[in-house]
Amino acid sequence: MNTKQDHFEIHYGNAFGDLIPVAIVGRIRQGLVNVHFLIDKADLQNSKIVQDVAGELTFYLAELNEPDPWHYLQYHCGTASNVYSAVYWSLMRGSAPNLQAPATVLEVCWNFPD
């Protein structure tokens, strides 16, 4: 994952309270993104978080049928629905995130229509 390029950070929790870093989403090329989960997806304590984040990834990247899901996610970062959601998206413009990935980072690729 090249965090020197534009990417999204996904946090979970309350935007006005505690947020935990969950994933970094980077664009590989048009129609394909790379998702680094920063939490252990196999840990049962994280199952609700993983389910909610995976649901949003699927919704915004595939089900919403936006012509440019990456651009739509940039817009979504500034919406009230993002602020009040438990899954909180932040667009990071070409700078390294403040997040520290664990020793083992799980990667998932999502394909979405061009």
- Strands 19-29 and 7-13 come out as antiparallel
Position 95 scores a pLDDT of 59
Position 9 scores a pLDDT of 94
State how far the Cα of 72 lies from the Cα of 5, in Å rounded to an integer: 17
- The three state secondary structure string of 47-83 is HHHHHHHHHHHHHHHHHCCCCCHHHHHHHHCCCHHHH
Count other Cβ atoms within 10 Å, centred on residue 7. 23
- The domains of the chain are located at 7-111
Position 48 scores a pLDDT of 96
State how far the Cα of 47 lies from the Cα of 112, in Å rounded to an integer: 24
Q: Is the pTM of this model over 0.85?
A: no
Q: Which residues of the chain are modeled with pLDDT < 50?
A: 97, 99-114
